[in-house]
C-alpha cells in the first residue's frame, strides 16, 4: 500500500476560453473505509487562484495552511495578489525544501493571470513543475483521468461546456477507482464570476 493511496483522491483542472475549471472528488477514506463524503480538496488562495491538493489528506491540509501563511505575508508586503506563475514557483520551492522527507501531495494550481489568461500546472510531491496548456490531473484516479481528459477535451470551450466536460471526465474516472468518488466538486472561474457546483455521482 502506498502512502499516496491511503486517503484516496482525484483532482483535475482544465483550461477553457478565458476561463478555467478545477474539480475534485469528495471522498476521504482510511484505506478501504470511507470516513467522509464532503472532504475539501480544492482551496482558494485568492479570487483568481485556486489550489487542488491530492494525496495524503493531512499533508494537503497542512500544505494549504502553510501556503496561506506565505501568501498573506506576500499580500501585505507587495499590496497585491500573487500571480499564478509566481505561486506555482512558491509551491515548488516549499515542496523541494522537504526533498528528503516530503509532503505526500500532488498539487494542481489553477488561476487567471494578470491579463486574465488561464494558467494551470501540476507538480510531483517534490516540486517538479509541469505546465500544461490543456489539462492537468492528479490523485489515485489519475490514470483514468488522463484517458478521459485526453478524449473529452477540446480547446477554447466556453464556461458551460467546460463545466460539462470536466464533470464528465471526473465522474467517469472516479467510477473506475475504488478509492475516490462519493460525489464531485467543480469550480469554474471566469474573469467576472466564480461558479461552484457539487456533483451527484455514484456514492460508492
Partner 1 sequence: MSRRYDSRTTIFSPEGRLYQVEYAMEAIGNAGSALGILASDGVVLVGEKKVTSKLLQASRSAEKMYKVDSHLACAVAGIMSDANILINTARLHAQRYALSYQEPIPVEQLVQSLCDTKQGYTQFGGLRPFGVSFLFAGWDRTHGFQLYMSDPSGNYGGWKAAAVGANSQAAQSMLKQDYRDGMTREEAVALALKVLSKTMDSTSLTAEKLELAEVFLQPGTGEVQYQLCSPDAMGKLLAKAGLTQPAPEA
Q: Is the Cβ of residue 25 or residue 81 nearer to partner 1 in the bound state?
A: 81
Residue reference for cell 494551470 = 120
Please tell me whether residue 99 binds partner 1 under the rule CB under 8 A: no
State the Cα–Cα distance between residues 69 and 103, nearest whole angstrom. Answer: 17
Q: How many residues bind partner 1 (CB under 8 A)?
A: 9
Please tell me whether residue 79 binds partner 1 under the rule CB under 8 A: yes
The CB-of-54 to partner 1 minimum distance in angstroms stands at 22
Collapsing DSSP states into helix, strand and coil, what is residue 99? coil
Strands 49-55 and 105-112: antiparallel
All three cell numbers of 139: 490523485
- Alpha carbon of residue 89 to chain centroid: 16
Q: Is the Cβ of residue 69 or residue 96 nearer to partner 1 in the bound state?
A: 69
Q: Is the Cβ of residue 1 or residue 76 nearer to partner 1 in the bound state?
A: 76
C-alpha distances in Å from residue 179, one per residue of 63, 66, 86, 95, 175: 22, 27, 32, 25, 9
> Binding mask 35-74 vs partner 1 (x if CB under 8 A, - otherwise)?
------------------------------xx-xx--xx-
| Residues found near partner 1 in the complex (CB under 8 A) | 65-66, 68-69, 72-73, 76-77, 79
Amino acid at each position: 500500500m502506498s502512502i499516496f493511496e491511503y486517503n484516496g483522491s482525484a483532482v483535475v483542472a482544465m483550461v477553457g476560453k478565458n476561463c478555467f475549471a478545477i474539480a475534485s472528488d469528495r471522498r476521504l477514506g482510511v484505506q478501504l473505509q470511507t470516513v467522509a463524503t464532503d472532504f475539501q480538496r480544492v482551496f482558494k488562495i485568492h479570487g483568481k487562484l485556486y489550489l487542488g491538493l491530492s494525496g495524503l489528506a493531512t499533508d494537503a491540509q497542512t500544505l494549504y495552511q502553510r501556503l496561506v501563511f506565505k501568501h498573506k505575508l506576500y499580500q501585505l508586503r507587495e499590496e497585491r495578489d500573487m500571480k499564478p506563475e509566481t505561486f506555482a514557483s512558491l509551491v515548488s520551492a516549499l515542496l523541494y525544501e522537504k526533498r528528503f522527507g516530503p509532503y505526500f501531495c500532488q498539487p494542481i494550481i489553477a488561476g487567471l493571470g494578470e491579463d486574465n489568461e488561464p494558467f494551470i500546472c501540476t507538480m510531483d510531491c517534490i516540486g517538479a513543475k509541469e505546465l500544461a496548456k490543456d489539462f492537468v490531473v492528479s490523485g489515485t484516479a489519475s490514470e483514468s483521468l488522463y484517458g478521459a481528459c485526453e478524449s473529452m477535451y477540446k480547446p477554447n470551450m466556453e464556461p458551460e461546456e467546460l463545466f460539462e466536460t470536466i464533470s464528465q471526465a471526473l465522474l467517469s474516472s472516479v467510477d473506475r477507482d475504488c478509492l475516490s468518488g462519493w460525489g464531485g466538486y467543480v469550480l469554474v472561474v471566469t474573469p467576472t464570476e466564480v461558479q461552484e457546483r457539487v456533483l451527484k455521482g455514484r456514492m460508492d
